Amino acid sequence: MGIMLLGFMAIGVAVVYRLMRDAPPPTIAASVSVPQGSEVLSSLTVDGTIQVTYRAGGAVMLAVFDSKTGELRQSTEIAAR
pLDDT at 13: 93
Task: State the CB neighbour count (10 A cutoff) for residue 67.
Answer: 20
pLDDT at 66: 94
Instruction: Give residue limits of the domains in the chain.
Output: 2-78
pLDDT at 75: 94
Let me know: does 60 contact 77? Beta carbons within 8 Å: yes
pLDDT at 20: 79
Q: Is the pLDDT of residue 80 over 80?
A: no
More confident: 76 or 25: 76
pLDDT at 22: 72
Q: Which of 62, 77, 58, 57 is nearest to 32 (CA)?
A: 62
Residues 6+ apart with CB under 8 A from 61: 38, 53, 54, 55, 75, 76, 77, 78
Band of pLDDT at residue 81, cut at 50, 70 and 90: low
